[in-house]
Structure 1
Amino acid sequence: MFGIHDLALFVVSGLLLNMMPGPDTLLIMARSATQGWRAGCAAALGIGAGTMVHVTAAAVGLSALLSTSAMAFNAVKWVGAAYIAYVGIGMLRAKLKPEAEAGVRPAGSDPSLAATSYRRIFAQGFLSNVLNPKVALFFLAFVPQFISADSSSKALAFLILGCIFNFNSMLWCNGLAVFAAFASARLKVKPLVALWLNRITGGLFLALGARLALSEQH
């Protein structure tokens, strides 16, 4: 249908690719471990929204500009690297709530770290994904392999496959958010450990931002 072939292989390959660690995985796990599964899911939904921007742009040909124009690629790359570094710095600067510093266990499910709003977490997931030109190039390289050359509607086929990929991605990412929050609760992660987990993730984000800044167009 629509020139799509080897759909089962596409689904399996997409799931395996989603399981590979990267900035998205780090953000989801850090937010879930320090603020609970809702925060992790907020990050996951932001990432999914960013993915749909890439899918739509690739389907209408906008992402092709990134693969042919060094100027466009570098512009998006530097903005993306700067934002990822900004998120990393924010995590490095995270502080404990006063009651946690005093050794008082927070009541209910309140986190020991100063909480970040779900809206801001969603925006972090969205921007860290949508400002990464490597994601756009990935879709341009991966998805067309499952669309026949004689397809009568390549753009529609691309959109369908992109939506399938993103749906599977959301299953994995939201499952990861719930698992990370559950594991954190079961292990009874102490406030200071959660703080350093946040800071370590921030350091990794800085490294990923530098890696993106130094990446070349392929």
Structure 2
Amino acid sequence: MDVSWAAFVGVVVLAYLIPGPDFVVILRSATRGWRTGVAAALGAQTGLCVHVALAVGGLSLVLSRHPDLLTAIRTAGGLYLLYLAGRLVLATFRSAPGPDREEPAPGHGDRSAFGQALFTNLLNPKAVLFFAAVLPEFVGGPAPTWAQVSILGALDVLLGLVAWSVVILAGARLGRLLSRDRVRRWWDRTTGATLGVLGGGLLLARD
């Protein structure tokens, strides 16, 4: 493989440093507990593995022949983020929980966190474009293309696990500051609004 590893790692790290839907979902999940944060991180990276598999199978060729597919993914991703945002914000306007009841926050179990992060990643058009247009730029040399894409994709997934570990630790610490119901509700409203802005941005984006 004739790959500029430093350049590739730099591009991947930069992508993870720019907060996006995955970051918001994982951070919010981590404030519910580190196990929930881990579940969300694994969901996001599972989605990333699917993108890697699609890239190995010729994702760039498919998109070149069916450009409307990316628009469909972007629309679905935007609608899904708006759904998560609405569900999260509306729940904060329910009656405040009593001392013997848990806060009525939707989708904060491990399984739900995994699923939310999985679909958020799968429907992220930026992830699709990365594996369709950016990653192939680092492929070269006599080795089979599918093998090079697989190795680069696996490195992306591993770097993501490191990045999300930092986010989970930060989220778990932040969760201690959100123990009061009122503070938690405002945090969830802020998180929901952020997801709504990201979702609206996807719907309004133009090719």
Q: Number of residues paired by the alignment?
A: 206
**Where does residue 143 of structure 1 map in the other structure?**
135
The alignment's C-alpha RMSD in Å is 2.3
**Where does residue 124 of structure 2 map in the other structure?**
132
Quick one: structure 1 residues 40 and 21, their matched pair in 2 at CA, closer, same or farther if it must change by over 3 Å? Answer: same
1:31 counterpart = 2:29: yes
Quick one: structure 1 residues 135 and 94, their matched pair in 2 at CA, closer, same or farther if it must change by over 3 Å? Answer: same
Q: Which of these residues, 107, 114, 132, is aligned with residue 105 of structure 2? A: 114
Give me the TM-score of the superposition, normalised by structure 1: 0.84
Q: How does 1:53-132 map to 2 (within 5 A)?
A: 53-95=50-92, 101-102=97-98, 104=99, 112-114=103-105, 116-132=108-124
CA drift of 1:204 comes to 1.3
Give me the TM-score of the superposition, normalised by structure 2: 0.88
Unaligned runs of 5+ in 1: none
Distance 1:52 1:146 in 2: 18
1:19-62 deviation per Cα after TM superposition (whole angstroms, max 9, x unaligned): 211111111111222x1111111111110011111111012113
Quick one: structure 1 residues 29 and 78, their matched pair in 2 at CA, closer, same or farther if it must change by over 3 Å? Answer: same
Distance 1:95 1:206 in 2: 15
Paired-residue identity, %: 31
Distance 1:73 1:20 in 2: 21
Quick one: structure 1 residues 87 and 63, their matched pair in 2 at CA, closer, same or farther if it must change by over 3 Å? Answer: farther
Give SS of 2:19's match.
coil
1:107-158 deviation per Cα after TM superposition (whole angstroms, max 9, x unaligned): xxxx64536321111010000110122211112222223221x433011101
Runs of 4 or more above 3 Å deviation = 95-98, 111-115
